[in-house]
Amino acid sequence: VLDFELKILGSSSATPSVSRFPTSQILTIGNQINLIDCGEGTQMQLMRFKIKPQRICNIFISHMHGDHYFGLFGLISSMQLQGRTASLNLFGPPGLSELLSLSLRYSNTHLAFQINFRELDQSVYQQIHEEHFFTVHALPMEHRVSCCGFLFREKPKLRHLLKGAFPPNLSPSQLLKLKHGEDLYDEAGQVLLRHKDVTCDPRPSRSYAYFSDTRYNEDLLPYIRHVDLLYHEATFMDDLRHRAVQTFHSTARQAAELAAKAQVRQLLIGHFSVRYKDLTPLLEEARLYFPNTQLAVEGTTVRVSDELIKAV
C-alpha cells in the first residue's frame, strides 16, 4: 500500500510568530514528495523534520501573498547549492516565474536543473497535473488576489485477484482484463471466467483537499465530497466572522461547517492569526460543528490509510 501522508511545516497566517511559520505542507504519495505552498522559512522547517529538498518533485503555490511563497527562492537556491540535477515541477500563479527568473538573474545563478513551470489559471476547477498514482486539480478560492487550493486524488485502483480462485494458465493480458473488471470469453463468445468470481473490489482511492486562503464558499462542495482529509484555513474564530469576510478569510466554525457539509472524514484547520497565542479555542469551536478536527500545527502528521485515518 502506498504512503499517503501529510505533514504540516507552517501554521501561521500573514505574519509569523516566534513558534509558528507561514504556510507550507508536505504531501507524500508513494515515493513522491509534493510541497504545497512555501512560506518564508520552509527550508529550515524541511531540515527540522529531516525532509530532503532534493526529494521534492512537485511544488504547488496557491497565490502571490508572500506568506505562501517567500520561502521558494531560498529553497530553490539551496537545491542548486546541494547539487540538484533532477527537474522540478512548479505550479503557480502568473508572476511567480517572472520573480524567480529575476532573482536568479540578479544573483547570476544558472540552475543545473530544469524547472518546469506551469502557470495556473486559478479561476476554474480543472486538472493541473497527473502522476502515475495520482492527479491534482486546482480548486478556485475566494480571496483578495487570484488564489487556488488543490485536490490530490489517488487514481482508481485495479481490482484485487483472489488467490487460488482462478486457473493457473491465464496470460498476463487476461489477468489485466480481470483486474480492470472485464469478464473473459472464449472464441465462441461464451463466458470463460467472470471477474466477480475471481477478483474483489480494489482498495478505495484516497484524497486530500487543500483550501489555502479563502472566504467560506460552498461552490466547491461537489468536488470535495467524501474526501479523506480536508485542510481548511481558519484564520479567525467565529466572533470575528465579520473581519473574516472583510479580509477574505474563514473562521474555525466555517471550516468545520464546510467539512460537515462535504462529509469529509477528517478536517485540519490552520493559517491562524497571530492574535491567537493558544489555539485550543479554535479547535474547540471547530469540533462543535465537526468533531473529527485537528490543529494543523508545525509537525502535525496525518497518515491516510486505506481503512481509516490515523493521526501520528
Residues of this chain that bind a second copy (CB under 8 A): 14-18, 21-22, 40-41, 43-44, 47-48, 64-67, 70-71, 73-74, 77-78, 81-82, 93, 95-96, 98-99, 102-103, 105-108, 144-145
Q: Tell me the closest approach of the beta carbon of residue 277 to a second copy, in angstroms.
A: 13
When computed from its CA atoms, the radius of gyration of the chain, rounded to whole angstroms, is 22
Q: Tell me the closest approach of the beta carbon of residue 268 to a second copy, in angstroms.
A: 23
Cβ proximity of 244 and 215 under 8 Å? yes
In angstroms, the CA 101 to CA 161 distance is: 50
In single-letter form, the type of residue at position 208 comes to Y
Q: Tell me the closest approach of the beta carbon of residue 99 to a second copy, in angstroms.
A: 6
Q: Which is nearer to a second copy, 11 or 266 (CB)?
A: 11
In angstroms, the CA 54 to CA 190 distance is: 54
**Helix runs in the chain, H state only:** 42-48, 72-81, 96-106, 172-179, 195-198, 221-224, 241-246, 252-262, 280-289
67 is catalytic: yes
Q: Which is nearer to a second copy, 99 or 245 (CB)?
A: 99
Q: Which is nearer to a second copy, 124 or 145 (CB)?
A: 145
Single out the catalytic residue among 67, 213, 228, 238: 67
- Residue 161's DSSP bridge partners are 199
Q: Which is nearer to a second copy, 77 or 301 (CB)?
A: 77
Closest C-alpha to 243, from 273, 270, 205? 273
Q: Tell me the closest approach of the beta carbon of residue 41 to a second copy, in angstroms.
A: 5
In single-letter form, the type of residue at position 183 comes to D
Active-site residue set: 67
